[in-house]
Amino acid sequence: MATKSSASKSQDLSSAQRLLTEVFGYYKHQATPFEATLWNRLIDEFGDPPIERFLSQHVQRSCFAPRVNDAMAVLNPGAGDSMSAMLTLHQAIARVGPYGVPDFSADPAIAAAVADLGGWVVVNTQMPEASDRFAWDAFYKRFDVAYRGACGRLAFQSAAVPRLRGLHDVGSSVLALQSMSGADSPVDASLVEGAPR
């Protein structure tokens, strides 16, 4: 009876899921339920043949069990590449500045990472010049963590991309609040160049 039950379970699995089970057995790796969920989502997204090719290549070149991020790097190259995202961000800051907000629809994880780092205006003030290697490396480490986290949230949680705001957006709301309250706040006025003080 137990063999019938295990046989029916293996028939329910796709070819990629069966191969993944065999590969994990080869490496003596026990997948956690979370890891299994991530692999199933990856198989659903890319289909069986690409996953099977990845697993076959992985077994030939690695002495460790495959990880989901290894598969993502092979199956979707460039996605989650924080250095190219950082360069895109640097170019956008040089092109647009703190007053407007560029379109990051090609890589929404950049917008999510910027929001995590404090928003468009804050990142504009903190972004170092590429020639200052120490400051660039320090900022890159912070951006890398934020960007990788954003990639994970967007890929597996269907998280909404936050709307970034530039100084034109922030400035108009600050000025409207100041005129309604009649108050003159040095903190709010410092956000907008040319705001009444």
Alpha-carbon distance of 62 to 65, in angstroms, equals: 8
Give the number of domains in the chain.
Answer: 2
Mean pLDDT, 10 residues at a time, over the chain (197 residues)?
Answer: 48 89 94 90 89 92 88 70 86 91 87 92 90 89 90 72 77 47 44 44
Whether 87 is in a domain gets the answer yes
Final residue in a domain of this structure, among 75, 91, 111: 75
Q: Does residue 42 belong to any structural domain of this protein?
A: yes
Q: Are residues 66 and 92 in the same domain?
A: no
Q: Is residue 174 part of a domain?
A: no
Structure tokens at 11: 């028939």
Tokens of 170: 């922030």
pLDDT at site 161: 74
User: In this structure, are 148 and 94 located in the same domain?
Assistant: yes
Residue 137 to residue 92: CA distance in whole angstroms: 18
Domain that includes residue 126, residue range: 82-156
What's residue 188's pLDDT?
44
What local confidence, expressed as pLDDT, does residue 152 receive? Answer: 78
